[in-house]
A and B are shown apart, each in its own frame.
Chain A
């Protein structure tokens, strides 16, 4: 039976309860205990994520858990398949890196029992982790709504954690966009329940057929999730929010949080609705994605500040994600390539962008500003930081060897094989534009010039940022078994779990 618990399914509940317990402990103990709890949770979370991945790989089937002994439709089922597992592991690694990086900036000062910014940071970090874990493993649309709200409430205060009016305004705009998205999503869920009496993803997939209520629900949920994923033209909130947040927060926001709502779009269209005849959806989402790639890259080229450039680059790279819809739908010979390319893009961008934000943070701390025009010769003084920016940029451009190259190569192959040449052109144009803005960052830094460092960057934090960039590069060497792994659990044909 589909909602039945499989061996190893309990790991899913543990993976969620770990950061949740961390949030509760951090809140009640307060002070510097919050940081210690967060750092203790990190290796345990990584271990659980790896255990789940091992479980899925070993059985070749998704891990399932019916919470409370009540299987769907009445209860909630958690379901971890191939993409859930890789996202869990990627998230654990990025959280570990951001947490280690943030210790220098968000430690409670000595002599003070509790301080505002550190307590907020460590609680919100664990809460984002909890919310994303639920997003990746939950199989119930209302449970996912609660997870989305948790994600929003945890991400918004991180944007304005330093209290400047610009960050408060950016946080408020982010909150309003996110609330708009949640309400659309909730209305869609109401209509799904009205039509089929359940919100379980697997059960809905079996029952779905073309009804006005289903079309409306699909449209509403998609619109809501697009707002949360900042796809063009609903991207206005992202650049100020991500650029003005502290570096460790930006890494998590750009690397993981926007991927959460995108992950739900994948669940919606590839898991709940594959039985719906909707070829136009791929075209529409692909077009919006292409617009995001071009628009975001051009805007990135025009930015004066490094962090804003990186934030606009996020908007462009999110556009690539939406090419998965025209390229991976259906049971064609190229769909597996499209799917692999899309998932690889999620992972490669997550690591590369997180690395670049951490490096930009180090740069801003050492130089006192993040103005690109004044970076002349900085690479000489901060070689590791610029190596990180360079490797991250390599992945964003899609040059080998890197995860970004693997992703774009797979998507190119899929678009050529399916005869959808337009996407191939867009991918290539996007790569050129990305090269343009990466060159903008690196060229003056590698040139001649002297730049005064306020303080040398700490080696440990540089190493952490560099390691994330190295993972982005290493993804380019992913073996075939990796691509088979991310196919586990994906419904290829109508109704197949």
Chain B
């Protein structure tokens, strides 16, 4: 068991934990946290792949590590967009719910805002 393998197993465990949180928690902000957790677990899998690729005088394979750096930045941007939507939804409607039943009425008249 090398540190790299241990890190890979931690990554797998974190993915599982995040998945549990994603399914179980109804609040969008908590789901976002769970997504970030899963993402970090996926990056750890990249990490073990990179460490296993030590060769040619390098202690790591640089390509997967570069992918992780790109991924971390993209994941942050996704979180920022999700937060903006959550906050705006809370502002305009007083609550944040992903439950479709809150928003659709059975015989939605479709009259508001359909001048499109």
A–B contact at 8 Å CB threshold (below): yes
Task: State the Cβ distance, A63 to closest chain B Cβ, in Å.
Answer: 25
In the complex, residue of chain A having the shortest beta-carbon distance to the beta carbon of B107? A304
- Given A165-B103, A172-B85, also A304-B108 (CB < 8 A): yes
Apart from A364-B114, A370-B110, 16 more pairs, CB < 8 Å: A105-B116, A146-B74, A156-B81, A162-B116, A164-B92, A172-B86, A175-B85, A180-B22, A183-B39, A186-B42, A187-B45, A190-B46, A193-B63, A194-B45, A247-B116, A368-B114
Q: Which of chain B's residues have a CB closer than 8 A to the CB of A45?
A: none
Please determine whether B111 and A369 come into contact, CB atoms closer than 8 angstroms. Answer: yes
- Closest residue of chain B to A306 (Cβ to Cβ) is B110
10 inter-chain pairs at a CB distance below 8 angstroms, sorted by A residue, are: A146-B74, A171-B85, A172-B89, A173-B100, A180-B35, A183-B38, A240-B104, A304-B110, A364-B115, A368-B111
Select A169's contact among B15, B52, B98, B110, beta carbons within 8 Å.
Answer: B98
Q: Is A179 an interface residue (CB 8 A)?
A: yes
Query: Is residue B2 contacting chain A, with contact meaning CB distance below 8 A?
Result: no
- Closest Cβ of chain A to B14, distance in Å, is 12
The reply to whether B89 and A169 contact each other, CB–CB distance below 8 Å, is: yes
Residues of B within 8 A of A236 (CB): 100
Point out the residues of chain B lying under 8 angstroms from A153, CB to CB: 77-78, 81
Q: Say yes or no: is A149 at the interface (Cβ < 8 Å to chain B).
A: yes
Residue B21 at the chain A interface, CB threshold 8 Å: no
Question: A187 CA to B43 CA in the complex, in Å?
Answer: 8
- B111 partner residues in chain A, CB cutoff 8 A: 368-369, 371
Q: How far is the CA of A74 from the CA of B92 in the complex (A)?
A: 48
Q: How far is it, in angstroms, between the C-alpha of A190 and the C-alpha of B11 when the chains are bound?
A: 12
Say yes or no for A114: interface residue by CB 8 A criterion: no
User: A158-188 CB contact bits vs B (8 Å, 1 = yes)?
Assistant: 0010111110111111011001101100110
Residue of B nearest to A455 (CB): B115
Q: How near does chain A come to B74, taking the closest CB pair, in angstroms? A: 5
* Interface bracket on A: 35 or more
Contact residues, B3-44 vs A (CB, 8 A) = 15, 22, 28, 31, 35, 38-39, 42
Chain A residues, CB < 8 A from B102: 169
Minimal Cβ-Cβ distance residue in B for A163: B92
Chain A residues near B61: list those with CB within 8 A: 197
8 Å CB contacts to B: which residues of A117-174? 142, 146, 149, 152-153, 156-157, 160, 162-166, 168-173
Which residues of B are in contact with A by a Cβ distance under 8 Å?
15, 22, 28, 31, 35, 38-39, 42, 45-46, 48-49, 52-53, 61, 63-64, 67, 70-71, 74, 77-78, 81-82, 85-86, 88-89, 92-93, 97-98, 100, 102-104, 107-116
User: Are A361 and B85 within 8 A (Cβ)?
Assistant: no
Contact yes or no, B103 A169, CB < 8 A: yes
Residues A190 and B42 in contact, CB atoms below 8 Å apart: yes
Q: A164-B113, A371-B110 are in contact. Are A186 and B89 (CB under 8 A)?
A: no
Kindly identify which residue among B15, B78, B92, B114 contacts A187, using a CB–CB cutoff of 8 Å: B15
Which residues of chain B are near A105, meaning CB under 8 Å?
116
A410 at the binding interface (Cβ < 8 Å): no
From B42, B61, B70, B102, residue with most partner A Cβ within 10 Å: B42
Is A488 interfacial (CB-CB < 8 Å)? no
Q: Is the CB of A305 closer than 8 A to any CB of chain B? A: yes
Contact with B along A361-373 (1 / 0, CB 8 A): 1001100111100
Contacts of A163 in B (CB 8 A): 88, 92
**A160-B45 in contact (CB<8A):** no
A153 and B75 alpha carbons, distance in the complex (Å)? 11
* Partner among A160, A180, A240, A370 whose Cβ is within 8 Å of the Cβ of B103: A240
Residues of chain B with a CB closer than 8 A to A171's CB: 85
Question: Is A305's CB under 8 angstroms from B110's CB?
Answer: yes
Known A-B contacts A183-B39, A305-B108; the reply to A365 vs B49 at CB < 8 A is no
Nearest-CB residue, chain B, relative to A188: B42
CB nearest to B82 among chain A residues: A175
Give the distance to chain B from A134, nearest Cβ to Cβ, in Å.
14
Is A187 a contact of B100 with CB atoms below 8 Å?
Answer: no
| C-alpha spacing A164/B116, complex, angstroms | 13
